[in-house]
Structure 1
């Protein structure tokens, strides 16, 4: 039977065409698959695809020469799949085949290095033998050398086996560690899922809504809104109140709370006016969450204005003005402005530096005073006595339940 129709395979298997004719149909299919795999492997070793068939043909030619020609091959299929088509690297380089670089066709440098090392080792052993055992005949000297080389090879084989065994042990340990980690992660996931299930079954801490995960959506929005209102009050107090006078600070925060309450009321009215008739009655819990979210958005929109106003006021403080003056003089006194410190370029650069320094000083004053106010608030909270349950029961009893009407929930 003729060689395969594929031109690449015909070129690669050309040197063994007579062996191909001695194969059965099934064997030819197997050899064809093995040849295709070798061509694909050669293409992945930085070998040009058009050169791969020629390199495989050269390999088959060398192997036939080693065997003594096609007439010496008694089992064509076994020879082709087990010897002729198989790459035989002489070193650790993947591009090496019988000491020849597949990508360049030249002698493999790694093989040359291995050969050099082996020759140097034999030379050292000969020198050691001549020094340790002088007067040996040529045959005795050769016998001792072969014995030592055999011992050296056996030692290296033992070391290799030991390192391989150690590598297998380490792989097994890593596999066991990964399995233990996966098992622990699965247990933690299950524990977290169970804890989440328990948490979701908790009632809301603020309103008592069942299956709220400890805090319902509306109360969560209310808590965030309250925190932002307190933050806005402290931001306004940083410039408009005497921080050492707690009554003055409380007055400012009360004014801010009243202003934000008006914004919240306007947002509430807008939502109620835009809601379709009957929707609030159909879902009172959702209506309460929507109103709470609208209040949160209203406070979030107002907070940047309070911060911007505080920075502007603190920028006029004596500390900020002093920083601005120092930055102005420093920039004006730069060596490239000394020839004309009052020129347009010098004044512009000095003004820009002063504005930057003023902004930095205002931000520092704001951060410092906010920190002071937070510490004062935390100290007052710690000193405040806990309210007895008997005093809190009337307040809790006045809260509406989930089954009340939408109007009660909104109120």
Structure 2
């Protein structure tokens, strides 16, 4: 957890939008990020409250911090002001965190989960919370420091705590330090990105407030060695977490004693010093070098609401007599041994410190030596590993170096080499059959290449391949074709990491039953192991289920608290378990009953839908069997294609005729309209007849010729409509509308940059008004012409069956010699 938060803080401070800002602005961005929601990345805070968090006044926040946020764009905010115009409230969004959340990359350092944000906020509260006079949230370590340099000191303390191990020691930077400058000052300068003298001033203020101390280490020779930078509150917090639930007499003496014990037993094996990772003063971590075993801790399970900053811990200080194991100045770096702990370690050993081992075996700890020298068949199982942990305590490290627990971005070939070496150690040679991955699934099955290689039967490979394709099809239906392979690859990588050193005895069954299926306890198809597969965030449905179960436990506990207040604790516990089991069974039966009712309702709905679809299909089949109403052709759905095109052509001709009557005749001249309509109809029909005759002469079918006629009528309609609009756009009504629109636009000339721009806008407005007026006149005129036209007389249409029967009788009654002619 500590390394995760350190990476998030470093990434946020190194963002381009925060470059060059003051320490007050950078610390404000950190506070807003810690207080923001993990989903929307938004937070609400008052200007005065933000000033209390960073140790500055409200005026400094309003005149120094907020303008820098607005200029850099690092934090978007909406300010609420009072009646006097002073900023009082802020709705803030930290943009680097928001961009990380919108990218969908769950591995981004700033894509913190809700639990990680809560941990970061509690850490900040413990360090420099302003305090609200309540016991639940007391003031932090630096709450009393206000004014100049307060933001810098608070930012430095936060970074130092995130670089501090469970023993309270701050990991120093390596490299050459200028003469006359201490390594502790160089460490602070490297964290803040300032000069070493500036880091020394910050360190001096932190020492004056008692939050950090410099301890001279006593080497085995008895001489004082190099100084170490210690954060006493961190060591006290870890000491308190160890002593929780036990009777203690003096918290201060216990914390000091535990830290002294750490100084005596901070090495493993034969107690020789471990390698120390060197870090340049002006840069970041140097790859390829190792960290000391005692320099890493895990604050994930130790940060409580009162982990740091409470009055009890502030009294706990490391004195000059505190001894911390040191390494000689010229000690070479020795080989980094893999962690002796298995993948299922639940916590630290009895000393509550990372890297502590009880005994030694040669050059390695007892458990580590036993694990490294054990053959493959003697590797402990999950249950055995947990038993060993409870018995002697694990050798916990920051990161387990397991070949099966590789991170997502590591190469899976490394895991393959580990498994091959394990096979060789067990059998003396590589496996006889090592199956290669299918070409179409190389990217998907890359995390389980070592397991696939043990499938020595072709049938097993076919079964696994079919299961992979089925899972990919299901994922494509849920997330789309672009994300399915990536999601399945990440799932297989998680399954391999969770397997650890436990051997896979049946590769085919493990792949089909454990690795490929989705594991979810909720109804959301996007959930796998309690997290969303598309975004990597926690599943909301699973959280709701957990909340329901938690609510049930609280209800049962509340009922027993009122009903069995005088019952002894043991009996009350048994009654609680019995009542909880009964309530759970009752709720399960109710849920089953609801599911049955829902299944019955779903079956009824499905039956109704099936019946409706059957009726629609029967009606459609009956419609398709109908003959054509125009020509009598059988089974054409009531109207064949040729008759459809003919009817559409007639409608288009009528539309073109009405357009011509409106455009080329006055509205109060029926004779002129009739004459224009007859002339236009004759021209259109002549053109259609010419085109149809030409198509028929070239061997076109009836459907083709009618379609050509329809297309010709459509072209004629467009031509007549365009000509009518051009004619009507110059009418008196259109000219009047254009003139009024132009004058109205010229009255708004003050809205334009120049007189030329105003005239151009007025001309465009006049043209638009002219064209719209022409469209209105054409639409209104055609409506009036159609209304004046007499309604067609309704005649009984002949029955197509009778028409076809009459043609057949005429052919049968025709004389034979006439038929031959």
TM-score normalised to structure 2 length: 0.32
Change (3 A) 1:126 1:181: closer
Q: CA deviation at 1:317?
A: 1.8
Question: How far apart, CA to CA, are the structure 2 residues paired with 1:163 and 1:253?
Answer: 75
- 3-state SS in 2 of match to 1:151: helix
Map Cα deviations across residues 64-117 of structure 1 (whole Å, 9 max, x no partner).
xxxxxxxxxxxx99xx99xxx999x99879537xxxxxx9xxxx9999989976
Provide the residue aligned with 2:769 in structure 1.
357
Residues 1:306 and 2:720 are matched in the alignment: yes
Q: How many residues align?
A: 315
Q: CA deviation at 1:326?
A: 1.4
Q: CA deviation at 1:12?
A: 11
Provide the residue aligned with 1:23 in structure 2.
none
Q: CA deviation at 1:173?
A: 2.9
Question: How far apart, CA to CA, are the structure 2 residues paired with 1:112 and 1:211?
Answer: 62
In the TM superposition, 1:11-410 aligns within 5 A as 49=493, 52-53=495-496, 55-57=498-500, 95=529, 124-125=558-559, 127-129=561-563, 138=568, 142-143=570-571, 146-147=574-575, 149-197=577-625, 199-200=626-627, 202=628, 204-205=629-630, 207=631, 214-271=638-695, 274-275=697-698, 286=701, 288-336=702-750, 343-377=755-789, 380-381=790-791, 385-386=793-794
Q: Which runs of 5+ in 1 are unaligned?
A: 18-27, 61-75, 97-102, 281-285, 390-398, 404-411
Q: CA deviation at 1:329?
A: 1.1
Q: CA deviation at 1:133?
A: 5.3
Change (3 A) 1:376 1:149: farther
Map Cα deviations across residues 17-68 of structure 1 (whole Å, 9 max, x no partner).
9xxxxxxxxxx99xxx9xx99xx99x9595673x7545323678xxxxxxxx
Change (3 A) 1:9 1:256: same
Change (3 A) 1:307 1:152: same
- 3-state SS in 2 of match to 1:370: helix
Q: CA deviation at 1:356?
A: 1.1
Question: How far apart, CA to CA, are the structure 1 residues paired with 2:545 and 2:715?
Answer: 75
Q: CA deviation at 1:181?
A: 1.9
Question: How far apart, CA to CA, are the structure 2 residues paired with 1:8 and 1:220?
Answer: 74
Question: How far apart, CA to CA, are the structure 1 residues paired with 2:418 and 2:548?
Answer: 34
Stretch moving more, 299-308 or 244-253: 244-253
Change (3 A) 1:59 1:90: farther
Question: How far apart, CA to CA, are the structure 2 residues paired with 1:316 and 1:331?
Answer: 20
Change (3 A) 1:149 1:323: same
Q: CA deviation at 1:293?
A: 3.5
| Aligned partners of 2:645 and 2:710 also within 8 Å | yes
Change (3 A) 1:330 1:12: farther
- 3-state SS in 1 of match to 2:500: helix
Provide the residue aligned with 2:401 in structure 1.
none
| Aligned partners of 2:623 and 2:637 also within 8 Å | no
Change (3 A) 1:145 1:315: same
Map Cα deviations across residues 276-317 of structure 1 (whole Å, 9 max, x no partner).
xxx58xxxxx3x554444333332222111101111111112
Q: CA deviation at 1:193?
A: 0.8
| Aligned partners of 2:624 and 2:636 also within 8 Å | no
Question: How far apart, CA to CA, are the structure 2 residues paired with 1:244 and 1:144?
Answer: 101
Q: CA deviation at 1:325?
A: 0.8
Change (3 A) 1:253 1:375: same
Change (3 A) 1:9 1:297: same
| Aligned partners of 1:126 and 1:145 also within 8 Å | no
TM-score normalised to structure 1 length: 0.59
Question: How far apart, CA to CA, are the structure 1 residues paired with 2:604 and 2:548?
Answer: 38
Question: How far apart, CA to CA, are the structure 1 residues paired with 2:551 and 2:704?
Answer: 81
Question: How far apart, CA to CA, are the structure 2 residues paired with 1:53 and 1:327?
Answer: 74
Q: Which runs of 5+ in 2 are unaligned?
A: 1-375, 378-414, 428-453, 472-486, 531-536, 798-806, 812-821
Stretch moving more, 303-312 or 327-336: 327-336
Change (3 A) 1:251 1:116: closer
| Aligned partners of 1:45 and 1:95 also within 8 Å | no
Q: CA deviation at 1:267?
A: 2.0
| Aligned partners of 2:556 and 2:580 also within 8 Å | no
- 3-state SS in 1 of match to 2:583: helix
Q: CA deviation at 1:322?
A: 1.5
Map Cα deviations across residues 203-259 of structure 1 (whole Å, 9 max, x no partner).
x43x55666655454443332222111111111122222334433322221111122
Change (3 A) 1:8 1:172: farther
The structure having more radius of gyration, on CA atoms, is 1
Select the structure that is richer in helix.
1
Map Cα deviations across residues 181-207 of structure 1 (whole Å, 9 max, x no partner).
22431343133213311x13x5x43x5
Select the structure that is richer in strand.
2
Provide the residue aligned with 1:392 in structure 2.
none
